[in-house]
Amino acid sequence: MYSVNKDRVNFLIQGLAQFGKNEEGKGITRLAYSEDDRTAQNWLLEQIADLNLEITEDAVGNVFMLRKGEDETLPPVAMGSHLDTVIQGGAYDGMTGVVGALEIMQMLKDEKLTRGLLTIVFRAEESARFNNATMGSKLMAGKATVEKLSNGTRKGDISFPEALKAWGCDPEKASEAIKQPGCFDSFWEIHIEQGKVLEETGEQIGIVKSIAAPTRFKMFITGTADHSGATPMGFRHDALVSAAKLILAVEKAATDEKEHGTVATVGVIEIEPGSVNVVPGKATLFVDLRGIDNDSIARALASIEKAMEDVAASDGVEITRQILTQDKPVGLDQNLVSILDDICKADGVKYRIMPSGAGHDAMHMASLVPTCMVFVPCKGGISHNPAEFAKIEDIAKGIDIMAQAVYKRAK
């Protein structure tokens, strides 16, 4: 096995960062199924042409890059991540996993392997475009349908089925993308931590044993639009004032569950009519609630529901809720965790076995095949932000550790 080529890894990560790049300081906006998503992927495929991989695309646009093994009857060892970003995102979230997987294929290219090696590019891991996350892997795991994922169209954008068509896929045939349990030997994903734990403890590797999963819902507040000058205080049903109370209630619900690792965020707010001289008549909030403890998540949700009732009653507004996704936290494969644990011990690297606060495509792969993840530290824990940064030394260490594990499974 060759050692990690840091220059090659860095070249691919920085090269991908040119696609969807915003003006200075505003990071990268490369939304799923966009033209930038396509051109970034095409550029990457050109760069790894020397690997002579067999490249296929499934019915929803997930891409598979296969190096066949000696025994083609055995399922391959799979790796991968995603190339799409949030709005004004960074260069490392997702790309580290795709580039890392391809680097492992370079490192092992001259090794004789019994099993094949597969790198997967999952489509639409980020919810930035369609308000649903890990869409490609969820469809692949048969956990959702295109219809179910079509509930989150953004103002001024096309719907998910329309985006599939624009990508060249037939939404009617999406179920052909579903894979069966045992389709791979195992699935491995390297990712930046997107938190501050590794940086603060000075550890270089995180072995992920469980993944928190998001519950996402919209809250719709309906008050009364009125003239801002001629409507006395006390005569108003201001939807934005009620929304502000709910934003604080969401933050309190999660803060009360802080010790269990539960978090909640209102990341999107839309109001109508949105004019400086009109009391807002309608407000919509998108809430993202996550944790690794089901009971804690349920308590936070109940607390938010209580606030909805209280605010509706006190403010004389109507508040309804629509659940978009409600995923369960996922435990990863204990056997794969042990393999990584042994490799880290032998290597002498500082590491920890930890949960993931963020969701990943790996959580859906875990329902099909034994799955594990490797985290590397990122600066300040910052992610989904132009300032997202991970040191090439840390990324290389993560690739090196995962390469040893993958080799062990494939050889």
Rule CB under 8 A: which of 4-33 touch a second copy?
Answer: none
- Shortest distance in whole angstroms from residue 226 CB to a second copy: 6
Residue found by looking up tokens 């050889």 in the block = 411
286 Rama sector, left if φ>0, alpha if ψ -120 to 50, beta otherwise: beta
- Shortest distance in whole angstroms from residue 189 CB to a second copy: 15
How many residues sit in the footprint of a second copy (CB under 8 A)? Answer: 72
The reply on whether position 150 binds a second copy by CB under 8 A is: no
Q: Which stretch binds a second copy (CB under 8 A): 48-56, 175-183, 267-275, 338-346?
A: 267-275
- Shortest distance in whole angstroms from residue 296 CB to a second copy: 12
Residue 202: CB partners within 8 Å, gap ≥ 6? 350
Question: Helix, strand or coil for residue 6?
Answer: helix
CB atoms within 10 A of CB 403: 26
Interaction residues for a second copy, span 273-302 (CB under 8 A): 273-281, 286, 288, 290
As a whole number of angstroms, the distance between CA 174 and CA 161 comes to: 10
The reply on whether position 312 binds a second copy by CB under 8 A is: no
For a second copy, the closer CB: 31 or 344: 31
CB 79 within 8 A of CB 120: yes
Interaction residues for a second copy, span 376-405 (CB under 8 A): 381-385
As a whole number of angstroms, the distance between CA 160 and CA 162 comes to: 5
Closest by Cα among 385, 359, 381 to 28: 385
The reply on whether position 100 binds a second copy by CB under 8 A is: no
The reply on whether position 318 binds a second copy by CB under 8 A is: no
- Shortest distance in whole angstroms from residue 234 CB to a second copy: 6
For a second copy, the closer CB: 80 or 386: 386
CB 165 within 8 A of CB 351: no
Interaction residues for a second copy, span 44-83 (CB under 8 A): none
Q: Which amino acid is at 130?
A: F
Q: Figure out which of the listed residues 80, 206, 329, 359 binds a second copy, where binding follows CB under 8 A.
A: 359
Q: Which stretch binds a second copy (CB under 8 A): 7-15, 69-77, 375-383, 400-408?
A: 375-383
The mark string for 326-345 relative to a second copy (x by CB under 8 A, - otherwise) is --------------------
Report long-range pairs for 40-48 (Cβ below 8 Å, ≥24 apart). Answer: 40/16, 40/83, 41/83, 41/121, 43/15, 43/16, 43/19, 44/12, 44/15, 44/16, 44/83, 44/98, 44/102, 47/11, 47/12, 47/15, 48/102, 48/105, 48/106
- Shortest distance in whole angstroms from residue 151 CB to a second copy: 12
Q: Figure out which of the listed residues 269, 298, 353, 392 binds a second copy, where binding follows CB under 8 A.
A: 269
Q: Which stretch binds a second copy (CB under 8 A): 2-10, 12-20, 63-71, 127-135?
A: 127-135
Q: Which amino acid is at 42?
A: N
For a second copy, the closer CB: 41 or 127: 127
For a second copy, the closer CB: 272 or 333: 272
The reply on whether position 112 binds a second copy by CB under 8 A is: no
As a whole number of angstroms, the distance between CA 151 and CA 256 comes to: 30
At 250, phi and psi to the nearest 5? -65, -45
The reply on whether position 180 binds a second copy by CB under 8 A is: no
Sort 109 into a burial class: Cβ within 10 Å, 0-12 / 13-18 / 19+: middle
At 252, phi and psi to the nearest 5? -70, -40
- Shortest distance in whole angstroms from residue 279 CB to a second copy: 5
Q: Which stretch binds a second copy (CB under 8 A): 108-116, 171-179, 242-250, 302-310?
A: 242-250
